[in-house]
Chain A
């Protein structure tokens, strides 16, 4: 699979600096990935190679870790990410009804992405959803549409 977007200009320098921050220790791969993603937004294959080289580990190891965790991305993320919890508590409180609503919102709008998560630790306020990293509890359908549209507007404005 080919990545549609390459890492931004100057990325290799930034990546090397981050690796150096962890003394190029292979055992700190996850920390490095977090920091790289925080700076670049995602970790594309070119960057994965850079990291492997700097930490003196294999490309396969880097790829294995990135592909294991949903939070690590090898492609640029959509501007607005909606995460709907599908854990037991949220399911029992109607989260399954929220998913089609969220998916409906993405139609024709590539800058909105919907993902499933399994527990946001907000069970007491189920169903839980995060939009653009902000946690919302007791979410209902209309409420969800409003939050997402609001976030999408902000995203478009920032574009």
Chain B
């Protein structure tokens, strides 16, 4: 039996007053604006349809959904006809049957009748409708032909690695074209020609799907009612037979997907319309790039070795865990409990992270636990907690639909958070104003149908100066929300802040030279933000990964509070979280100074509650942060580390420093899917599980706790929480859980913001946004609605202090780093998929002026040198960059981007300053020494090829 499809209501849901009507004599009450088609579906009177689907506005082209309405002439289309009070609708009559058959005959007269050998056999809407309408004869002939010449003129377009386009199967319902427009907002598709000659076309006539503007989000494939646009895997393997609803493991948007399966094989990932974050949308990573999970590079058996120069020895779980425990215990015996610790992963579930931090605190005996958020959003946690009292974004994603002015700063949503970016782009197209603060001319600055009202291409490292200037304009031009401030914020800290931002040194005119942008632009943009009814800030790592990362976060919080843009829909301060569970891993007590729920380890009452529940005494001393672990390792005082799913040797700054620290350790235990770069320095390798094998929860950037459900058995025979529990037990602290749900129950018991969360509730009621408490049992989409969590909003003085990383004659350019759409972080996953067809190497984007000065042409190999090191990569000349600033990504290990990044970090949280490195760029024809060495290692260890 083919997989069950999600019900389709034909047209989108509407909000409005109740309207009562009768459909086939049955009374139905729906909101005003609802279509007759949707109202009929509400009472399970499905009306035949082809061009309608509930993710798109009604179009009215297929003429199958005709109905009769009492007192109305003719047979209106039910999709484009809104309900009205007292309406009486008939969905089935001899007249309608005849009309629909006539229409269907026309469709079938030009459609190949090869259903039995078609990719969508059994899951085809055209097939379903032909069945429902009862076509028995086609007057125009049905030789199983179509007017397209599939052999010569219109061959199947196989250019996209994940889906194909076959024009002969097309009924020109335009669902794909409209989905690309209304949902994704890319408009890469159009109808070419007209009438019978109409054909769906991507880009220009000479372009195929791959060459067109298509970003491969898959929304057209999901919208297609026939086999015209089909997943390649569907064509290769046939229709799925079962589905499991789960959550994507890429970025912090946290899209819900239905993993559609045949046995243990994932045929396709289909975005779920029930997903709170994505509402049926997806991007190229979540939709298609899951092949890494079953890639042959996966290591599925534990391995150990005495020295990192020895070859790996495959062992059983008991031996591996015993080996790790023995080594770690002997380090503790010799050097004390402070000599070991671990790092949790933002890629793992809440339950897995919780168990690992518990293992470190309870079994290792110290608070030496940190997480990869240290290198991304630690300043967000610190800054927002200081200002508002909660280490999280204030809004849900849907809130952007109410924003009048959107301020995007240090984020590139169309590449890094594509599904949310689509939502934002739709809002901008509907009229919201847009300000982009970014050194690079990102897609949001200008791309089809999107044009930022202001782009502030600031010098990297000057965010604080710009934000202070925004505040200065708001404060000195009477744009503050004094009523909000008086009611919701602290009087004293506000008064101090007001005096500070009003100082002349914070005016746009005073900072213009530092920022490198005209004062007038800054002033006008500030007015736009401060003057709008609802202004919302969205930011990313371009804010946090600076020496003043925390200061910038607090500057944004100040600005939002002072202009009253907190506590309702359409406003807020919103971090776009990089990884699927970075919010969750922080919530779960991954920081060295905080228990789950961001409560200090130094707080006796909090500690006592954990000691009581865990039955062990816990340290009151905050542990080491990641950079501290490296420093202590080099000092010979930190010798054992458990690294859960993180590749610090590639992702952390100043690679040579990181690898030196790893080399200095006596026991490096890593848990991962693949032998990553860090594995070269490990003694114990514990195989991990992919998201397709996990049972638990991820928490996305809007604090939404989404269920992650296993679609297949663990490839390595043990769940990750079982491994951590076993290691804790071997270390001498008994830890035993029977299920992941039991872990969540413990989290809920010990963490006030999770008090009412359980797997049972999430399964029955769907995702929830924390806090989920007795006061808010269904969760909290918008925070701080009636008051700040900390009481009154706190203003912080945010003096601009320039980074110590400065340009000089020797290093005259600033390097900043970022991401690309098709690749993800260190690329461990996406490089093992066909996504590499879009981006198979990291390139250095450089402005034509800087390139010209150095004699660099497009595609030349160049060497890039900083005070830390050098590497080589290919140059791409691009006007996206301002002169003086160069840009690259860090998706490929051999690029070694982090060989050149520095040790500078945020003053408050030690978050590294990835975004500012002074460099020089020169033509080069050879690899750097570091790269040559890495290539040798890679030749033996890390060979990766795309998944089948």
Contact = CB atoms under 8 A, between A and B. Distances in A.
Contacts of B449: 26, 56-57
Contact of B212 (A26, A59, A62, A74): A59
B202 interface: yes
A52 B202 CA distance: 14
Contacts, number: 64
Contacts of B192: 63-64, 67
Given A45-B206, A48-B204, A59-B204, A64 B448 contact: no
Contacts of A48: 204
A56 B450 CA distance: 8
A115 B782 CA distance: 62
Contacts of A74: 205
B190 A60 contact: yes
B714 interface: no
A60 B202 contact: yes
Given A64-B190, A67-B201, 5 more contacts: A57-B187, A58-B213, A60-B188, A60-B201, A60-B212
A68 B189 contact: no
Interface in B764-802: none
A26 B212 CA distance: 19
A146 interface: no
B136 interface: no
Contacts of A31: none
A76 to B, nearest CB: 15
A1 B446 CA distance: 30
Given A1-B206, A48-B204, A52-B448, A58 B193 contact: no
B722 interface: no
Contacts of B186: 58
Contacts of B189: 60
Interface string A61-75: 111100110000010
A60 B205 contact: no
A86 B370 CA distance: 78
A59 B206 contact: no
A2 interface: yes
Interface centre among A45, A52, A58, A60 (most CB of B within 10 A): A60
Given A57-B187, A60-B189, A61-B187, A45 B205 contact: yes
B191 interface: yes
B193 A67 contact: yes
A16 interface: no
B213 A60 contact: yes
A62 B201 CA distance: 11
A56 B445 CA distance: 11
Nearest to A52: B448
A59 B450 CA distance: 15
B194 interface: yes
Size category of the A interface is: 10 to 19
A59 B213 contact: yes
Contacts of B213: 58-60
B451 interface: yes
Contact of A68 (B194, B203, B212, B451): B194
A34 interface: no
A63 B190 contact: yes
6 contacts: A1-B206, A56-B446, A58-B186, A60-B190, A67-B194, A74-B205
A49 B204 contact: yes
A63 B187 contact: no
B205 A64 contact: no
Contacts of B194: 67-68
Query: Which 6 A-B residue pairs are closest in the complex by CB-CB distance?
Result: A64-B190, A60-B190, A67-B192, A58-B187, A58-B448, A63-B204
Interface centre among A1, A56, A59 (most CB of B within 10 A): A59
A60 B451 contact: no
B193 to A, nearest CB: 5
B157 interface: no
Interface in A51-108: 52, 56-64, 67-68, 74
B923 to A, nearest CB: 30
B207 interface: yes
Contact of B448 (A2, A57, A63, A67): A57
State the main secondary structure of chain B at its contact with A: loop
B451 A61 contact: no
A64 B201 contact: yes
B205 A67 contact: yes
A66 B190 CA distance: 11
B448 to A, nearest CB: 5
B190 A1 contact: no
A66 to B, nearest CB: 9
Given A48-B204, A59-B204, A59-B207, A64 B446 contact: no
A100 B682 CA distance: 82
Contacts of A56: 446-451
Nearest to B153: A1
B283 to A, nearest CB: 18
Contacts of A49: 204
Contacts of A45: 204-206
A134 to B, nearest CB: 27
Given A56-B449, A60-B213, A2 B188 contact: no
A68 B451 CA distance: 27
Interface centre among A45, A58, A64 (most CB of B within 10 A): A58
B206 A58 contact: no
Given A56-B451, A58-B186, A63 B193 contact: no
B187 A60 contact: yes
Given A56-B451, A58-B186, A58-B187, A63 B446 contact: no
A33 B207 CA distance: 20
Contacts of A61: 187, 190, 448
Nearest to B211: A59
Interface in B158-206: 186-194, 201-206
Given A57-B187, A58-B213, A68-B194, A63 B451 contact: no
A61 B449 CA distance: 11
A68 B193 contact: yes
B188 to A, nearest CB: 5
B808 to A, nearest CB: 38
Given A26-B449, A52-B448, A68-B194, A58 B205 contact: no
A59 B446 contact: no
B520 to A, nearest CB: 22
A58 B191 contact: no
Interface centre among B190, B191, B446, B450 (most CB of A within 10 A): B190
Interface centre among A45, A48, A67 (most CB of B within 10 A): A67
Nearest to A2: B206
B823 to A, nearest CB: 24
Contacts of B203: 58-60, 63
Interface in B194-237: 194, 201-207, 212-213
Contacts of B201: 60, 63-64, 67
Interface in A9-51: 26, 45, 48-49
A56 B449 CA distance: 6
A67 B186 CA distance: 20
A59 B194 CA distance: 18
A22 B451 CA distance: 17
A36 to B, nearest CB: 15
Contacts of A57: 187, 448-449
Interface in A117-146: none
A146 to B, nearest CB: 34
B205 A1 contact: yes
Nearest to B194: A68
Contacts of A60: 187-190, 201-204, 212-213
Nearest to A24: B451
Contacts of A2: 206
Contacts of B187: 57-58, 60-61
A64 B188 CA distance: 11
B130 to A, nearest CB: 29
A62 to B, nearest CB: 8
A42 B91 CA distance: 50
A59 to B, nearest CB: 5
A45 B201 CA distance: 14
